[in-house]
Amino acid sequence: MSRENALVTAQWVEDHLDDGSIVLIEVDEDTTSYDKGHIKGAIKLDWKTDLQDPVRRDFVNKEQFEQLLGGRGVSDTDTVVLYGGNNNWFAAYAYWYFKLYGHDDVKLLDGGRKKWELDSRELVADVPSPEAKTYTAKDQDLSIRAFRDETVEAIGVKNLIDVRSPDEFAGRLLAPAHLPQEQAQRGGHIPTAGNVPWSKSANDDGTFRSDDELKQLYADAGLDTSKDTIAYCRIGERSSHTWFVLHEILELDNVKNYDGSWTEYGSLIGVPVALGDEPGEA
């Protein structure tokens, strides 16, 4: 993958609005934003009700994913272009999720919904009703998904990148500042993790920074590109965004997203936790 293959510009999307081989999908943290207007022809996926198992804390399984997408008129050979608000936060999560189930041709709209809106491009109210298609997913690609035991074993061995805000990293906040703070788990971070807030990889308009700026950003945080990397955040969405930067734009091998993230790790008994602004010792 590369920047050219993984990203498309707002102008490219506008030029391809009537191309039937391209499926536009909006995935937003604020799941009502699609209903207020969306890019013409786009369908919506709800990161919570569509992409998470309603009972267990896990993703929908392969069969559920196939039914979900086939039912929304998406086939596994379509070009899927994802976009969303907040610097593509949840769209990047959906991108990683599509890759987890082996969808080859998936792209992000650089800058997402915000860039589209700030460019004053058209949003429409019409909700498309495409005919169902057959979607065949692959087994989960676990080379891009980290679980808790692997993450604990990575302390002092692999690169750990905590992509939350500095206040969450240090333990001063337990959630992003636009969400209520009433979590029960402990604050802090995984010892030895570097803190590179996910948002540093994006410009104010939501587009990704240049390759050189991105390389410098992670080099400054001590990322050793000769080692494997695990990115995490609070619930695995922001770290999907960083996974996208490291694995898809900068083309680093062996980068995983720990989707359990701090809400799992910070509730485990017996694991080490570091407080404050420094990475801490292994």
Partner 1 sequence: MCGATQGGPSLEGIDLSKEAVIQGVVTKGDEPVGNAYVRLLDKTGEFTAEVPTSATGQFRFFAGPGEWTLRTLAPRIDPVDRSVVAQVGSVAEVVVAV
| Residues at the interface with partner 1 (CB under 8 A) | 30, 33, 36, 85-87, 114, 117-120, 165-167, 172-173, 175-182, 197, 199-200, 204-205
Nearest to 234 by CA among 87, 84, 28, 89: 89
Measured distance between the N- and C-terminal CA atoms of the chain, rounded to whole angstroms: 33
Nearer to partner 1, 72 or 114 (CB): 114
Which residue stretches of the chain are H helix?
A: 3-6, 10-15, 62-71, 85-100, 112-118, 148-153, 166-170, 211-220, 238-243, 261-265
Nearer to partner 1, 143 or 181 (CB): 181
233 an active-site residue?
yes
Nearer to partner 1, 119 or 278 (CB): 119
Retrieve residue 186's tokens.
Answer: 């402990």
* Residues 132, 110: Cα–Cα separation, whole Å: 28
Retrieve residue 112's tokens.
Answer: 């997402």
Smallest distance, partner 1 to C-beta of residue 195, A = 10
* Residues 36, 263: Cα–Cα separation, whole Å: 31
CB 151 within 8 A of CB 258: yes
Neighbour tally for 208: CB within 10 Å? 24
Selected catalytic residue, list 43, 190, 233, 274: 233
Nearer to partner 1, 105 or 117 (CB): 117
DSSP state of 172: S
Smallest distance, partner 1 to C-beta of residue 68, A = 25
Which residues are part of the catalytic machinery?
233
